[in-house]
Amino acid sequence: MMGLVMLALLTATPVRAETWTLCAHGTDHSGAEEWQQVPGIATEAECWASVARLPLPGADADVARTVVEGHKTTAYYRDGNTYVVVFPCRPESVDPRGPKGK
């Protein structure tokens, strides 16, 4: 009987699908690592599709050209510097920076 009660509770409990986060990861001109996140995307597919709708850094007047390769954007500046941004999608429960050291 206990097994039936547990089964009834499990089937009655709504399963919440995990939401996703679109991240932007790059290194600025000084070499400092930058992370930005857009949380609350409903599904993994929606997360990856949102990458195509992101504004490109080509709007910056100092950018000579921008190259998009899949989920990576490279901005080439007039002064010779480059800025590469990678856009990974991760479940919100996963830190995109990887595991923390002990």
Q: Is 75 helix (H, G, I), strand (E, B) or coil?
A: strand
- Provide the domain count of the chain: 1
Q: How far apart are the first and last CA of the chain?
A: 46
Full pLDDT tens readout for the chain, 102 residues: 443 333 343 444 444 568 998 888 887 767 788 888 888 888 999 998 888 777 655 457 888 888 888 888 888 888 888 888 898 888 888 876 766 665
> For residue 12, is it within any domain?
no
> For residue 69, is it within any domain?
yes
> For residue 65, is it within any domain?
yes
Helix (H) or strand (E) holding 48: helix 44-51
> For residue 37, is it within any domain?
yes
Please list, in sequence order, all residues whose beta carbon lies within 8 angstroms of the beta carbon of residue 83, skipping any fewer than 6 positions away. Answer: 26, 27, 28, 29, 57, 74, 75, 77
- Among 32, 9, 25, 29, residue whose Cα is nearest residue 82: 29
User: What range defines the domain where residue 39 resides?
Assistant: 19-91
> For residue 102, is it within any domain?
no
> For residue 96, is it within any domain?
no
